[in-house]
Amino acid sequence: MKTRMIFVGPPGAGKGSQAKILSEELNIPHISTGDMFRKHLKEQTPLGLMAKNYTDKGLLVPDDVTNEMVKDRLSQEDVKNGFILDGYPRNPYQANYLDELLSKSHLKIDVVLNVTSSDEVIIKRITGRRTCPVCGAIYHIDNFPPKQEGICDNDGEKLIQRKDDLKETIVKRLDVYNKETFPLIHYYKEKGLLVDIDGNRDLKAITMDVLKILEQQ
């Protein structure tokens, strides 16, 4: 079973939603750099306040800061049986850093899941997304509405719209993805690790697909 994986793909393709499902299914941690920055901001840490200058504009947070944060996270005990990286690495520099970091522990990535979707679907998904600021659950006003409008099913918390989910910021994020993150597709293809996942289907169908891929030798 492949248990060290990366989810790559444009904003709103469904990386986080899938990663959360798989994390529960496989009992391995979901490591989202975006979630980590949002948590820091919520706690008003210096890192969170610094990162906000970039995340609000749809720009990447500087590599050194991001790499260091991931290094800390991957040094924790709970990653020993595997992990799901979501939104990291996000450019070839970060990918090289990750390779070197893992190789120091004689580890490597097993598979890179490239979730693809059309720009039209992406915009609809992002503009309709609502998230829980407490438990991190992801909803969609049409696709996955909560039982009670605007309220998290898990804890009754008021759902929020991410600050970077405004239309003009989404356009910037897509542009940053195409220019900075897309080269990673080639990087991982060359290494024979890349598997394309059609993200335009329902969540369950995608999860089934991914589980099959993880079981392949």
Other C-beta atoms closer than 10 Å to the C-beta of 41 total 18
Residue 90 annotated as catalytic: yes
Residue 4 annotated as catalytic: no
**Which does residue 129 touch among Zn ion, ligand AP5, none (CB within 5 to 8 A, set by kind)?**
ligand AP5
129 in a known ligand binding site: yes
Distance CA 3, CA 83 (A): 6
Radius of gyration of the chain from its Cα atoms, rounded to whole angstroms: 17
Window 92-131: contact mask with Zn ion (x via CB under 5 A) = ----------------------------------------
Torsion of CA 187, 190, 102, 23, to 10 degrees: 80
Distance CA 77, CA 1 (A): 20
**Annotated catalytic residue within 2, 20, 52, 129:** 129
**Considering beta carbons, is residue 82 or 87 the nearer one to ligand AP5?**
87
Binding site for ligand AP5 (CB under 6 A): 9, 11-17, 32-34, 37, 54-55, 58-61, 66, 87-88, 90, 94, 125-126, 128-129, 138-140, 143-144, 164, 173, 202-203, 206
**For residues 7 and 86, is the Cβ–Cβ distance under 8 A?**
yes
Contacts of 72 (CB under 8 A, 6+ apart): none
Query: Minimal CA–CA distance to 61: which of 69, 51, 70?
Result: 51
Active site residues: 15, 90, 129, 162, 173
**Residue numbers belonging to the annotated binding site for AMP:** 33, 38, 59-61, 87-90, 94, 162, 173
**Residue numbers belonging to the annotated binding site for Zn(2+):** 132, 135, 152, 155
**Binding positions for Zn ion, rule: CB under 5 A:** 132, 134-135, 137, 152, 154-155, 157
